[in-house]
Amino acid sequence: MASNDCVVVPPFVEGGLPTPPKDECFVCKKTGVNLQRCSKCRTFPYCSKECQASDWKEHKKICLAYIQQGALDYTATSKGMKGRSKKGRDNLRSRGDVIRDLGATAQRHNGDTFTMACWHAMNLVQDIGKAKTHFLAVTLSRNLNATNPRALHSLVDAAVLPFAVLEEKFSGAALLAQDASSGSHREIPMTPLDMLRANERERVRDDGALGAVLVTCVELGPKEKAKSVEQAVRDTMCPTYHPLGLFGVHQRSISAMPAIVFEERFWKLCLRNALDGYAWALQRHPLPAGYE
């Protein structure tokens, strides 16, 4: 059976990219003159159009990466939130920090916790077609002192939401892509739902899956925990989205369980315990040997 790996959006650059000196031309190293920065990434300074033109062949290869890093370095993680560039301040959490940590949690929990949560919360045993119209959204809080890699986040809340929420959020949205030869930027229509559909086609074709289901995770700060799950999804600037495969082995095992396991109060308690580093169960049972 194929593993349920995390798909993180947007990409995260571990450690960050080097920043050129601000007070000298990147090409000729001239100082004491008026410098103009690349209009796209706003990072590389040049003293003249000639210097910028001479560097474009190399700069175009990395310009998009700097654009992405600039967005990830800001500390405002939700709409309406005031923030600033982290710029190496360890006491601040940037969008990149949030995405990195949510990705780590997803990698630990996609294959079991989040897969079980989808089957139970959406009752896919009764109607597997619901995965084509709804997704599971999970809001989390970061445990900054956690030592257990399966307990980096705690559950705030979770809800099954219609695709319309994401369709509205990503209306007119696109990924910024860079042409390898010219360095020019262009937009490619791509949303989490596009990712889900592509993943589903691949899993059904290559892995014998019944389909795929989408999970999105949102990290909330201490002052945001009163938000509803839907509002958190609409507001966040740094979620993770991960399509998970739906397989017959899960369908058969879960169909043998009593109907009570599909009730919200039960699956949420199991989800909470699992995210705290325990097994998927109503009580806090240790994980079986071999789990990481």
pLDDT tens profile 195-235: 899 999 999 999 999 999 999 999 999 989 999 999 999 99
Are 180 and 238 in a shared domain?
yes
Q: Is residue 287 part of a domain?
A: no
Q: Which range marks the domain in which residue 218 is found? A: 95-275
pLDDT range class, residue 35, cuts 50, 70, 90: very high
pLDDT tens profile 40-54: 888 899 999 999 999
Compute the half-sphere exposure of residue 7: CA atoms within 13 Å on the CB side of its CA. 18
Give me the phi and psi of 156, to 5 degrees please.
-95, -55
Q: Is residue 291 part of a domain?
A: no
Place of tokens 């033109």: 53
Q: Is residue 192 part of a domain?
A: yes
pLDDT range class, residue 17, cuts 50, 70, 90: confident
pLDDT range class, residue 170, cuts 50, 70, 90: confident
**134-142/211-219 β-pairing:** parallel
Are 109 and 203 in a shared domain?
yes
Are 56 and 114 in a shared domain?
no
Give pTM, 2 decimals: 0.76
Cis preceding-peptide flag for 45 (omega within 30 of 0): no
User: Which of 18-27, 171-180, 264-273, 274-283 has the weakest average pLDDT?
Assistant: 171-180
**153-162/134-142 β-pairing:** antiparallel
**Domain total of the chain:** 2
253-277 as b/e: b if 16+ CB within 10 A: ebeeeeeebbeeeebbebbbbbbbb
Q: Is residue 281 part of a domain?
A: no
pLDDT tens profile 229-251: 999 999 988 899 999 999 999 99
Give me the phi and psi of 257, to 5 degrees please.
-85, 155
What is the sign of the dihedral through the CA atoms of 270, 272, 275 and 279? negative
Are 162 and 264 in a shared domain?
yes
Are 128 and 233 in a shared domain?
yes
pLDDT range class, residue 95, cuts 50, 70, 90: confident
CB neighbour class for 245 (10 Å; exposed up to 12, middle 13-18, buried from 19): buried
Q: Is residue 105 part of a domain?
A: yes
C-beta separation of 94 from 72 below 8 A: yes
Distance CA(189)–CA(176), nearest Å, equals 9
Q: Is residue 84 part of a domain?
A: no
pLDDT of 6: 35
Pick the more confident residue, 12 or 267.
267
Are 40 and 159 in a shared domain?
no
Are 126 and 262 in a shared domain?
yes
Are 122 and 50 in a shared domain?
no
Q: Where are the beta strands (DSSP E) in 8-128?
A: 36-37, 45-46
pLDDT of 181: 54
Pick the more confident residue, 13 or 124.
124
Are 40 and 181 in a shared domain?
no
Are 262 and 178 in a shared domain?
yes
C-beta separation of 230 from 193 below 8 A: no
pLDDT of 93: 81
Q: Is residue 78 part of a domain?
A: no
Amino acid present at 118: C
Compute how many other C-beta atoms are within 10 angstroms of the C-beta atom of residue 122: 21
Percent of the chain with pLDDT over 70: 80
Distance CA(185)–CA(179), nearest Å, equals 6
Helix pair 63-72, 95-109: axis angle to 10 deg: 90
Q: Is residue 75 part of a domain?
A: no
Region 88-97: mean pLDDT is 74
Are 202 and 134 in a shared domain?
yes
pLDDT of 2: 41
Pick the more confident residue, 143 or 186.
143
Are 248 and 167 in a shared domain?
yes
C-beta separation of 37 from 268 below 8 A: no
Whether 178 shows a pLDDT value over 80: the answer reads no
